[in-house]
Amino acid sequence: MIVTLTPNPSLDRTIELAGPLARGEVQRAVLAHHEPGGKGVNICRALEASGLRSLAILPGDENDPVLVALRSQGIPHLGLPIGAALRSNVAITEPDGTTTKVNEPGPALTDAQQLALVELVLDQARGASWLVLAGSLPPGVPADFYAMLIRKVRDRFGADAPRVAVDSSGAPLAAAAAAAPDLLKPNAEELAELTGRFDADTLEANPQLTVRAARTLIGAGAGAVLATLGARGAVLVTAEGSWLAQTPPITAVSTVGAGDSALAGFLLSNNAGASPANCLRQAAAHGAAAASLPGSTVPALNQTHPSAVLVTALDEHSMTLNPKEDDQ
């Protein structure tokens, strides 16, 4: 069982254009659809599609469109009633895969609602293999919310606590990183901001520098870093080593939720006892499959192609690629 918390969920609306986005002009969409969204929700959708039991925890009233959509899709979830409508996020995709997103801030959570959400997570985390804390924080929630929750989970369950993965950005990610989670999943931009090492374009172009940046987080207590680099693949860094995953070129349709699917792929393989290299392989396969699907559609396991992913061990002493491909 994998439990996710999405404090700031959304109804994700995707609008597909027939040509490039033209600012200030009127354009007609060729397709529009919506899905229940937010990082933790997307991860659960991908896990459930691939046959792994999960539970999405989120604020939201029973009749909110996000929770209604989760019920209609059969995604196990628990909503905390808050008496306010959840936000909508809009993604505009162009034919070449370029995606423009407009995210609403979401409803504010009171102190009492925050405490209730924490207790809901603690009640459901017992026996879970992973707890995933994912996405932005809504108004009214302090930046150290994830860090506080990591400490509470470990205080309550001790050695039986689930492993904790964090996928966020900005101040919430920085605070959570200081709480030594078992896994951090930044993209290149988030890794650059979090570590102050290099810029996002440099990290995407140079996996060796990505490893150096991620290694500072390992040194600060994180168990592992899964850094997604868009079309350039993904890097996994642990205390034991580091690996680069590269996928064959794909025709990107929408990058919305691709990073969430990548984390789901990693968790799927990890839950099955796979090696770090093969966890990374499935993460890259899931991310590539998601990018080739419209909107925020998530892939099932049988829609991914891990055998096509090249995973290479990185020699951190010389910071050059090891020419020997990691074992399949």
DSSP of 262-298: HHHHHHHHHHTT--HHHHHHHHHHHHHHHHTSSTT--
pLDDT, residue 324, reads 40
If 0-12 CB within 10 Å is exposed, 13-18 middle and 19+ buried, where does residue 133 land?
A: buried
Q: What is the CATH number of domain 37-85+109-325?
A: 3.40.1190.20
Q: Is 260 a catalytic residue?
A: yes
Long-range contacts of 320-325 (CB under 8 A, 24+ apart): 320/208, 321/207, 321/244
pLDDT, residue 127, reads 96
Of all helices (H) and strands (E), which one includes residue 208?
helix 207-219
**Which tens digit of pLDDT belongs to each residue from 148-201?**
999 999 999 999 999 999 999 999 999 999 999 999 999 999 999 999 989 999
How far apart (Å, rounded) are the C-alpha atoms in residues 223 and 158?
17
Q: What value does the mean pLDDT of the chain take?
A: 93
Q: Where are the domains of the chain?
A: 37-85+109-325
pLDDT, residue 24, reads 94
Radius of gyration of the chain (CA): 19
For residue 174, the Cα-to-chain-centroid distance in whole angstroms is 16
pLDDT, residue 323, reads 41
Cα dihedral 21, 23, 26, 30, rounded to 10, equals 10
pLDDT interval class at 46 (50, 70, 90): very high
From the list 12, 260, 315, 326, the catalytic residue is 260
Token pair, residue 258, equals 């691709």
**Which tens digit of pLDDT belongs to each residue from 216-233?**
999 999 999 999 998 899
